[in-house]
Amino acid sequence: MKRKMIQIDEKKCNGCGDCVPNCPEGTLQIIDGKARLVSDLFCDGLGACIGHCPQGAIAITEREAEPYDERKVMQNIIAAGPNTIRAHLQHLEEHGEDQFHNQAIEILHAEGIEIPLSETPANPCQGGQCPGSATQSFPHSGSSHPAPPVSQQNSQLSQWPVQLKLLNPSASYFDKADLLICADCVPFAYANFHERFVKGRIVITFCPKLDQTIEQYIRKLASIVEIHEINSITIVRMELPCCGGIEIIVQRALELAGKSKMVKVSIISIQGEIL
């Protein structure tokens, strides 16, 4: 059957192994100094390992492969212990794989294994525990009096609209553009957003957690890079796990368009710092 799988570029891979612990299913191993996909049966094709490769050597591709087998995967997961079980369940829930998640729970029940939820919920967004929606406040140092007036900063925005859902892929401003693909929350968290990121770039913004048109977004981004010669792509996202979906969406769009582009990623903390 044809399905999505990870693909490793051996020329880029340096065997660092950063991807291995981020694949609880046990699909990846370092063999002969390179990351290898050891079994089609174990790869769910969701790409959790992609954001952990510093060389950009891992991508998602569609090819003939054996069907993913949750039961065989769970044999490895259970043997690895509670932390790996927890990571696997969380991984499935974050990607909306309810069928595989329910199957994993059934297997754990059948084996008489307690579901390890005491440290971290299987889904970090259950019960108000989602890092992206947890209530927090940030005290600022200094006087409570209003700050003295400063010279007004000018907007660096050079096009409209900016929301991906509203953008026209054929717009001429995409020709030879430097793209800024940004999570919706970033401009609120990072104070110097315009000067540091917007200046000189064409802005595309969306939310990988709340927006319901992800497949359309992938096709639209693919159209943009297919139709136009793009100089560079910069992703700016929040540190939260759900925001990592932006990287996967961009990667899949590039694959769909048959394009290879170096993508620079900046991650912003909720306190407004570049990590």
CATH 3.30.70.20 fits 2-64, yes or no: yes
Q: Tell me the pLDDT tens digit for each residue of 78-95.
A: 876 787 788 778 767 766
Burial 200-217 (b: 16+ CB within 10 A, else e): ebbbbbbbbbebeebeeb
Q: Looking at per-residue confidence, does 161 or 144 come out higher?
A: 161
- Residue 163 has a pLDDT of 94
- Residue 95 has a pLDDT of 63
pLDDT band at 195 (very low <50, low <70, confident <90, very high): very high
What are the tokens at 17?
Answer: 């192994």
- Residue 118 has a pLDDT of 37
Q: Angle 98-110/70-80 helices, nearest 10 degrees? A: 60
Question: Distance between CA atoms of 40 and 5, rounded to whole angstroms?
Answer: 8
- Residue 75 has a pLDDT of 81
Q: Looking at per-residue confidence, does 132 or 226 come out higher?
A: 226
- Chain-centroid distance of CA 196 in Å reads 22
Residues facing residue 232 across a β-bridge: 178
Q: Angle 245-257/214-227 helices, nearest 10 degrees? A: 50
Least confident of 10-14, 77-81, 268-272: 77-81
- Residue 142 has a pLDDT of 53
Highest CATH level, class, for 164-268: alpha beta
pLDDT band at 39 (very low <50, low <70, confident <90, very high): low
Question: Distance between CA atoms of 115 and 121, rounded to whole angstroms?
Answer: 10
Average pLDDT over residues 196-207: 95
User: For the chain, which residues make up each domain, given as ranges?
Assistant: 2-64, 70-127, 164-268
- Residue 136 has a pLDDT of 65
Q: Looking at per-residue confidence, does 5 or 223 come out higher?
A: 223
Most confident of 24-33, 57-66, 230-239: 230-239
Reply yes or no on whether the pLDDT at 51 is more than 80: no
pTM above threshold 0.75? no
What is the number of residues in the chain? 275
Provide, rounded to the nearest whole percent, the portion of the chain with pLDDT above 70.
79
Reduced to 3 states (helix: H, G, I; strand: E, B; else coil), residue 99 is helix
Q: Looking at per-residue confidence, does 79 or 199 come out higher?
A: 199
Beta-strand pair 178-183/202-206 = parallel
Average pLDDT over residues 253-257: 92
Burial 12-41 (b: 16+ CB within 10 A, else e): ebeeeeebeeebbbbbbeeeeebbebebbb
- Give the chain's mean pLDDT: 81
Question: Distance between CA atoms of 140 and 19, rounded to whole angstroms?
Answer: 37
